[in-house]
Amino acid sequence: MADAQRYESVDVEAADGLIQSKGYTLLDVRTPEEFQVGHAPGALNIPFMVQGPNGRTHNQQFMDQVRSAFPDPSEAKLCVACGGGTRGTSAATAIAEAGYSSITCMPGGMKAWAASGLPTTAEESGKL
């Protein structure tokens, strides 16, 4: 990657602190199917990849959905997470390149979140 990283990587404890005390929203970019199995309470699901007939493909509406949920890039505070880190870093890069500046990413994703003992839920709220 030629450009400098435009978001901050944080561990799950730091991410939880940003969510709990700094007004960040956990943006879960996993597929809706993964999100339904379990996610952080209060997380918003906007999938970066979607399940297609030939496997996962890029969600062509991803940035439109992000802009719809967070219309003011200067006001949005997002902590991006996926399953293990790969989709999350790609999504965080795309969001930062679209002009959003308060972006963090959890490299370990929801696997690290759950492994650390932080709460998860399977409730239906949070799906876009």
Which residues are known to be catalytic?
A: 82
Q: Would you say 18 and 27 are in contact if contact means Cβ atoms under 8 Å apart? A: no
Q: Would you say 79 and 106 are in contact if contact means Cβ atoms under 8 Å apart? A: yes
Q: b/e per residue, 83-98, with b = 16+ CB within 10 A?
A: bebebbbbbbbbbbee
Distance between CA atoms of 103 and 85, rounded to whole angstroms? Answer: 14
